[in-house]
Amino acid sequence: MTVKIISWNVRGLNQANKRCVIKNLIQGWKADVYCFQETKIQGDVRNIIKDLWANRGVEFCQLEASGTRGGILILWDGKVWTGEVSSVEAYSISCKFTGKSLDFTWVLTGIYAPNNREEREEVWWEVGSTRGLFNSPWVVCGDFNTVRFPSEKKNCSRITKSITGLSDFIEDMSLLDLQLAGGRYTWRKG
């Protein structure tokens, strides 16, 4: 079973022109599920979702931003997938998906980790405890605000506690770290 997932730190969804750009990309990507981090939105997001994905069957779940910080939005086609929120935590949201025409169930956990290393370590505990809620295939995506290897960050040559923490999390959860395709880094100013 192949599932196409797009995970993207959008750095805010409050501006109409940014939503227009994202909408055009969504139309081209044709993914099954979209997980946007750092949405910076709270409250009723139905109009924002209509701006993003003009699909009458679109369904969603969200972890609201805290003020102007954070926020996660997961979108999917409700005609293809039944989505059920499994867990909403401080830095993550998990949703179980079941195919409507396929006998396939899987879970997606979207993460937006804080920049602070101590707070970020709480994320690993939070998501680890969420893992015990299901036995289905599991996808973890998001913005971890750290890298796994020094080569993944420009001008980084040493292994830090943050790097070790992410690597330990990936190994403890028996996750497979998919390699980046299409660029050298995931984020670059400008």
| Binding region | 9, 38
CB 99 within 8 A of CB 78: no
Q: For strands 5-9 and 33-37, give the pairing.
A: parallel
CB 147 within 8 A of CB 155: no
Question: Residues annotated as binding site for Mg(2+)?
Answer: 9, 38
CB 72 within 8 A of CB 88: no
In this structure, what DSSP letter does residue 64 have?
-
3-state secondary structure of 33: strand
CB 96 within 8 A of CB 134: yes
